[in-house]
Amino acid sequence: MDVGTIKQQIPESWKAFETLFYNSLSARYELMKEIINYSIKRTGKQVRPLLGLLLAHALTAEEDNTGRGGAVNDSAIRCAVASEMIHTATLLHDDVADEANMRRGIPSVRSLYSPSASVLLGDFWLSRAVATLIETKNFDIFSCFARSIEDLAEGEMLEMQKTADLETSYDDYIRIIRHKTASLFEATAASSAYAVNAPAEMVNAAREYACHLGLSFQMRDDIFDYSPNLNTGKVPGSDLLEGKITLPLLGAFASSSKEETNRIKEKIRSLESESASETARDRNASIITEIYDFITEKGGIEYSNRILSEEAGKAVDALSVIPDSKYRQQLVSLAIYVGSRTI
Ligand code: FPP
Ligand code: MG
């Protein structure tokens, strides 16, 4: 099942999400309007709002005789909208941190306009998210997102710190992706549970499901970087060029000697910047191919898929305390989709 099909299971609340999201795009000045219009040309999969809304339905399904999952109230819609806005803001900032030229298959705002424009548009989205959340008048919801925004920044900074010395361990990797990706999934899920006044046990289940879902989402993303045959909208090899050590490489290192690991790290150190000359780009391409071969030979992709499946399985397990409903089933489908997606 793909996200489109899952969205169709909650047509009314999805429509309410889209309406509020797109109605929040107004800006006063021409340049801001122009860049907003450009940046929404390619929307992403919108997994975070989907996760939030499905949980809101699943946590209220029992109360609703129609079986529709009734209490997807205005606060739950606002949490879904804020999560997508914060996500959009992080990508605009991330493209500056990563000096990324492309986002979702088209030139990034950073490269088409400027790094400053990308940061400022990110700030704009962040402030719109805060304004959207204020209307919920719910401090539990505010604290979910406040903590997540802090985690996002710290996760990104930890990644930067580890990238500089190529010393990312498996535990470091999990800590980084928990902060930089899973934290926003968790905030979206927990805030959605608070929005529908779910009891503490359900808030915790929602948080746990989302944490494992977020980890598997990022693991899949990191496998994409070593999947040149998939048309994911990502430029394969980017993580290596950025000096990021992610799961496929960690998996390959796990079954290599210290010497082999150091040899590969030396190769990564010798990669040159994206803006390098054509000869340097050719040299980069041949080093990247060599590292791909190393990962394939050492089973780094199989290793990553195994850990990813375990995470997706833990996400599904966390749902067991939530009463059965067609929405809970969709949350299972979402975990399966996230673990196997090709885009
Ligand atoms: C994408 O990772 C980046 C993130 C998931 C988080 C980015 C967070 C920040 C820039 C810090 C906080 C910002 C705000 C606005 C609170 P990736 O580079 O691995 O994925 P990619 O291939 O999609 O770029
Ligand atoms: Mg990036």
Output the domain CATH number for residue 285: 1.10.600.10
User: Atom 20 in ligand 1: which residue has the minimum CA distance?
Assistant: 221
Pocket test for ligand 1, best of 84, 90, 224 (most atoms within 8 A of CB): 90
- Sequence-ordered alpha helix ranges (H) in the chain: 3-7, 11-23, 30-39, 47-58, 74-97, 109-112, 115-134, 139-165, 170-177, 183-195, 200-224, 238-241, 247-254, 258-269, 278-297, 300-318, 326-340
Report which protein residue has its CA nearest ligand 1's atom 10. Answer: 94
Q: Ligand 1: distance of its center to the CA of 241 in Å?
A: 16
pLDDT at 1: 76
6 contacts 326 by C-beta, under 8 angstroms: no
Report the separation in Å between the CA atom of 100 and the middle of ligand 2, taken as the mean of its atom positions. Answer: 7
Residue 277, pLDDT score: 78
Residue to mutate, 98, 99, 180, ligand 1, most ligand atoms under 8 Å from C-beta: 180
Q: Is 156 touching ligand 1 by the criterion CB < 6 Å? A: yes
Distances (CA, A) of 8 to 43, 227, 229, 303: 17, 29, 29, 34
CA-218 nearest atom, ligand 1:
19
User: How many domains is the chain built from?
Assistant: 1
CA–CA separation, 49 vs 17, rounded Å?
A: 8
* Closest to 316 measured CA to CA, from 188, 209, 185, 201: 209
Task: Supply the pLDDT for residue 63.
Answer: 59
110-162: pLDDT as tens digits: 999 999 999 999 999 999 999 999 999 999 999 999 999 999 999 999 999 99
CA of 222 to the centre of ligand 2 (A): 10
Ligand 1 binding pocket includes 287 (Cβ within 6 Å): no
The pLDDT value recorded for residue 231 is 65
pLDDT value, residue 124: 96
The confidence score (pLDDT) of residue 273 equals 74
Tell me if 160 CB under 6 Å of ligand 1.
no
Number of other residues whose CB lies within 10 A of the CB of residue 1: 13
Please tell me the residue having the least CA distance from ligand 1 atom 3: 94
Q: Are 161 and 180 in contact (CB under 8 A)?
A: no
pLDDT tens across the length of the chain (343 residues): 789 999 999 999 999 999 999 999 899 999 999 999 998 888 899 999 999 999 999 999 875 555 445 558 999 999 999 999 999 999 999 999 999 999 998 999 999 999 999 999 999 999 999 999 999 999 999 999 999 999 999 999 999 999 888 989 999 999 999 999 999 999 999 999 999 999 999 999 999 999 999 999 999 999 999 987 766 666 778 899 888 999 999 999 999 999 999 999 999 999 987 666 788 888 898 999 999 999 999 999 999 999 999 999 999 999 999 999 999 999 999 999 998 877 7
For tokens 């067991």, the residue is 320
Nearest ligand to residue 221 Cα: 1
Distance 203 CA to ligand 2 centre (A): 30
Nearest to 125 by CA among 184, 66, 68: 184
92 CA to centre of own chain: 13
126 lines ligand 1 (CB under 6 A): yes
Ligand 1, atom 17: closest residue by C-alpha: 94
DSSP-assigned states of every residue in 43-104: ----HHHHHHHHHHHHTTGGG-TTSS-----HHHHHHHHHHHHHHHHHHHHHHHHTT-SEET
231 close to 343: Cβ distance less than 8 angstroms: yes
Q: Is the CB of 48 under 6 A from ligand 1?
A: no
Q: Which atom of ligand 1 is nearest to the CA of 244?
A: 19
User: Does residue 158's CB lie within 6 angstroms of at least one atom of ligand 1?
Assistant: no
Structure confidence at residue 215 (pLDDT): 98
> Range of 216's domain?
3-340
Ligand 1 atom closest to Cα of residue 234: 22
